[in-house]
Amino acid sequence: MTSTPAISRRAALVTGASRGIGRAIALRLAADGFDVAIGYAGSAARAEETVAAAREAGSNAIAIQGDVAQAPDVARLFDTAQQAFGRLDVVVNSAGIMQMASVAPASLDAFDQTIATNLRGAFLVLGEAAARLGQGGRIIALSTSVIARSLPGYGPYIAAKAGVEGLVRVLANELRGRGITANAVAPGPVATELFLDGKSEEQVAQLSKVAPLERLGTPEDIAAAVSFLAGPDGAWINAQVVRVNGGFA
C-alpha cells in the first residue's frame, strides 16, 4: 500500500501500544490514515511487530521506548514523535497494568505500582499532550467499566482509573478555547493478555456472560471507539467517558 504524502497526514502517539488494546488502537489509527508512534515500556520485539503491521497499513510508524510513570521518558516520547512526524494531532494513553489486590495493608506495593503506571502515567501523558497539541487535537485516555461494579480485588485498579476519569474532565475545562478535546474510553472485559492473566477458564466464562451481548469485548471493539473520537465525527464530544462494554455496566 502506498503511503499518503506526509504533509497531508495526521500523526498520533499511542502509549502501551506493543500489545492488546493499545496495539489494536495503533493499527486502527494507522488504517485511518495516521502516522503512529508506538509507545512501549518493555518488549521491543512486540513493539516492532506493531510497527511492521502499521506500516503494512500505510503508516509511517515508529516505536519509542518509555515508562509513562517517569516524566523524562514521557517528554522523550513526545519529542521523538514530533521530530519524526513534524506534528502530533492525537494522543492516546493506553499504557496500564492490572494487579489484583485487596484493600489491605499487605497490598500497598501493588497499589503503589498501579497508581504509578495507571494514574501518575496518565497525568504525565495528558499533561504533555495538553502542552503540545494544537487546534483540532484529540486527547484520549483509557479507563475501565469495572468502576461501576466495584468487584473485589480491583481496588487499586479502580482507584487509579477513577482518577483518570477525573483528570480527563478537568483537562477538558483547562483546554477551554483551544479547540482540543479530552475524553476517556472505558472498556468492559476484553480478551487481552492483561485481562486473562491469572483468571481461570470458569472465571473467564462467567465474565463473558455478564454483558447482555454475552461475549468478551475484542481489542478492535475498543479501537473503533477511539477511532471515532479521534476522527471528524468525534469533534463535538468532549469531557466524556465513553463506556464501550456491551452493556457490562
| Integer CA distances (angstroms), 70 to 65, 116, 200, 247, in order | 12, 9, 34, 35
* Interval 10-35 mean pLDDT: 98
14 DSSP β-pair partners: 38, 92
Which set of grid coordinates corresponds to residue 55? 506500516
Predicted confidence at residue 204, as pLDDT, reads 87
Predicted confidence at residue 193, as pLDDT, reads 83
2 pLDDT band, cuts 50/70/90, is very low
For 155-173, what is each residue's pLDDT tens digit? 999 999 999 999 999 999 9
Which set of grid coordinates corresponds to residue 184? 476517556
For 120-153, what is each residue's pLDDT tens digit? 999 999 999 999 999 999 999 999 999 999 999 9
* Interval 84-90 mean pLDDT: 98
Which of 40, 154, 157, 248 is catalytic? The answer is: 157
* Interval 3-21 mean pLDDT: 81
Predicted confidence at residue 121, as pLDDT, reads 98
Domains belonging to the chain, first-starting first, are 7-244 (3.40.50.720)
Judged by average pLDDT, the poorest of 37-46, 95-104, 189-198 is 189-198
Sheet of 241-244, strands arranged across: 62-65, 34-40, 10-15, 90-93, 138-142, 181-187, 241-244
* Interval 210-231 mean pLDDT: 96
The distance from CA 160 to its chain's CA centroid, rounded to whole angstroms, is 14
| Integer CA distances (angstroms), 176 to 1, 130, 180, 232, in order | 39, 11, 8, 19
Which set of grid coordinates corresponds to residue 149? 461494579
Q: How far apart are the first and last CA of the chain?
A: 40
At 183, phi and psi to the nearest 5? -140, 165
Count Cα neighbours of 17 within 13 Å in the Cβ-side half-sphere.
33
* Interval 212-221 mean pLDDT: 94
* Interval 176-193 mean pLDDT: 95
Predicted confidence at residue 194, as pLDDT, reads 75
CA–CA dist 160, 114 (Å, integer): 7
The distance from CA 187 to its chain's CA centroid, rounded to whole angstroms, is 10
At 104, phi and psi to the nearest 5? -160, 150
For 41-68, what is each residue's pLDDT tens digit? 999 999 999 999 999 999 999 999 999 9
Judged by average pLDDT, the poorest of 1-10, 104-113, 235-244 is 1-10
Residue with more model confidence, 123 or 199: 123
Residue 154 among the catalytic residues: no
- Listed in sequence order, the residues at least 6 apart from 31 whose beta carbon sits closer than 8 Å to its beta carbon are 57, 58
